Amino acid sequence: QYIIKTVEVESAKAKQALCESQSRNQYLQEQVGMQRQVLKEMEQQLQSSQKTVAQLRAQIMMYEAELERAQGQMLEEMQAMEEEKNRAIEDAFSRAQVEMKAVHENLAGEGGAAHRVTQLVLGGHATCPSPCLMPAGVRTNLLTLQPALRTLTHDYNSLKRQVRDFPLLLQETLRSARAEISQAIEDVHSTNRELLRKYRRELQLRKKCHNELVRLKGNIRVFGRVRPITKEDGEGPEAANAVTFDTDDDAILHLLHKGKQVSFELDKVFPPQASQEEVFQEVQALVTSCIDGYNVCIFAYGQTGAGKTYTMEGTAANPGINQRALQLLFSEVQSKAADWDYAISVSAAEIYNEALRDLLGKEPQEKLEIKLCPDGSGQLYVPGLTEFRVQSVEDINKVFEFGHVNRVTECTNLNEHSSRSHALLIVTVRGLDRSTGLCTTGKLNLVDLAGSERVGRSGAEGSRLREAQHINKSLSALGDVIYALRSRQGHVPFRNSKLTYLLQDSLSGDSKTLMMVQVSPAEKNTSETLCSLKFAERVRSVELGPVSRKAELASWPSQEQLEVTEGLPGDSPGTAAPSGRGHVSPSPGQLSSRATSIRRKLQTSG
């Protein structure tokens, strides 16, 4: 006879791991503080650079205005000098005419001499060809006028050259000023680009540190996904896109609601063009952690028609998180097959009108109850919930097809095939390390919540109205639980709804939890989108505490005892073990020759 006892031992390794986690948490908090300070300084530098650019642009405008003003002044001065030159020439010509008239009067009898004097004066000759032909007074007047005429001619030619060269000089000055200003602007732009690069790098580092800090604190991670505009949204202003994204931060989105832009910060935001593969890449680390013995919960929240079922279930050609998660689990299990034995089992349930129903059972309409495990572990399980062992992708497809047929969907004003219930896919992974005898039990809850829209907009009547009221009541209870957890109240009302009671393990600090909030970008749905995003921000601030791993040492079991049930829907399934109970019974017949070596290994590892 063999007696098995589970004893919690606080080992030195656990203490050391706890100390390391606490020191790492402190280090990350310091790093986050330092990164915030660096970001603040970079933002100040960026603002300073932007101010410098603005000042340089203002100086450019001022220089151009001054150049235009100088050009105008120079043109005015040239025009004034031209006029002054013309006046001086006219005055000199008038004086010459007066003097020539006087010469004509003095030399009235000498017409030929007067004519030659006139030619000499008007022609600007410097010397008299024949002094004997010119009286002394005329010669003196000519000597007086010639320097003045020479000076005027020189000034005129100089002004003419300046007027001809001024456009070239102005263009050269403008070219030089523009080159200097362009160089200054290029230097500022280069500095801004470098600052922006550092800013984005620090932002990514800050986000990485923040995510690590969130993981250590146990916060609920929140991803957002925006579906594309579809033909069902109609046409016109009501179908306009009201959601925009931050180009520098993939965790921020903006919603235009009633003419005002409202910004929301989540852990990650997926735009409409994001593929199913891109979404799953962000959540696959959570999925694989259930193999290591952790509880994981991923649930989709949002109004009807926002894409919750598409994200969780997808289509046959483009599967969603549910099928991709199980495929990934199979791949991970195969990679560890040399050292571990794993058994993966699947259950599917729905909460319809506050009644829990088994989607894989022979009687899907039968109501089930949620109870505490009788082993005293405090875990919840559902007696009578069918649990199927799956070993291949074909098994998964048969389970999904059988469960999808039994789920309740109806047509509403917001969606032609609206999910009228909360669907839960529960994946249990039990593992045994053959070398140490360590048993692990991890549970993956994949939840597709019903639509969160208002009753008036869904157009529900009769039984549809009753369904909508139950949906809103359960979602309201979920909101009350989130509020109680966020405000750290002593009592958390998990029992107010079947949904919150079933998700108690996922929301009470013993699970890694991810919320995928689905939103519609259409203008007509902005009210529901606003409510969904506000709820997502509240959920993101909830701290569940560090996550614990479910593992225990046990004797060597047989492969048959790892199997929960054989067969698929349509076969004759075996009896399922209660969900949440991670204990595997020993097999005395297989403890013979290897028991001594296993105990020796356990003593050595201990």
| 183 annotated as a binding-site residue | no
What CA–CA distances, in Å, run from 64 to 40, 72, 173, 451?
36, 12, 11, 62
| 234 annotated as a binding-site residue | no
- Quick check: 343 and 486 in contact, CB under 8 A? no
For residue 596, pLDDT over 60 is answered with no
Sketch out the chain's domains with CATH numbers.
Answer: 220-410+417-548 (3.40.850.10)
pLDDT in tens, 291-302: 888 888 898 999
CA distance 319 to 480: 33
| 309 annotated as a binding-site residue | yes
Residue 542 binned pLDDT confidence (cut-offs 50, 70, 90) = confident
Give the model's pLDDT for residue 119.
53
Please tell me which residue, 163 or 530, carries the higher pLDDT value.
Answer: 530
CB-facing half-sphere around the CA of 221: CA atoms within 13 A: 25
Kindly give the interhelix angle for 12-106 and 111-123, rounded to the nearest 10 degrees.
180
- Quick check: 266 and 224 in contact, CB under 8 A? yes
| 479 annotated as a binding-site residue | no
Give the model's pLDDT for residue 227.
94
Question: In whole numbers, what is the pLDDT of the chain averaged over residues?
Answer: 77
As a whole number, mean pLDDT of residues 79-105 equals 79
| 304 annotated as a binding-site residue | yes
The pTM assigned to this predicted structure is: 0.59
- Only one residue has tokens 């070596």, namely 597
369 backbone φψ class: left, alpha, beta (φ>0; ψ -120 to 50): beta
Give the model's pLDDT for residue 459.
55
pLDDT in tens, 198-228: 877 886 777 677 656 656 656 688 999 999 9
Residues 6+ apart with CB under 8 A from 394: none
| 431 annotated as a binding-site residue | no
Kindly give the interhelix angle for 136-217 and 12-106, rounded to the nearest 10 degrees.
170
Give the model's pLDDT for residue 8.
57
Give the model's pLDDT for residue 16.
84
For residue 111, pLDDT over 50 is answered with no
CA distance 248 to 299: 27
| 137 annotated as a binding-site residue | no
Residue 460 binned pLDDT confidence (cut-offs 50, 70, 90) = low
| 302 annotated as a binding-site residue | yes
For residue 595, pLDDT over 60 is answered with no
Give the model's pLDDT for residue 586.
33
The vertex-257 CA angle with 252 and 261, nearest 5°, equals 45
pLDDT in tens, 399-446: 888 877 776 554 444 444 446 788 899 999 999 988 888 888 888 999
CA distance 558 to 573: 19
Give the model's pLDDT for residue 320.
93
Least confident of 101-105, 321-325, 349-353, 514-518: 101-105
Give the model's pLDDT for residue 372.
83
Q: Which two tokens stand for residue 143?
A: 């000597």
Instruction: Please classify residue 433 by burial: count the beta carbons closer than 10 Å to its beta carbon, then call 0-12 exposed, 13-18 middle and 19+ buried.
Output: middle
Q: Which two tokens stand for residue 225?
A: 């996904």
Residue 499: how many CB atoms within 10 A of its CB? Answer: 25
DSSP-assigned beta bridge partners for residue 265:
252
Helices (H), 380-420: 393-406
- Only one residue has tokens 């852990």, namely 267
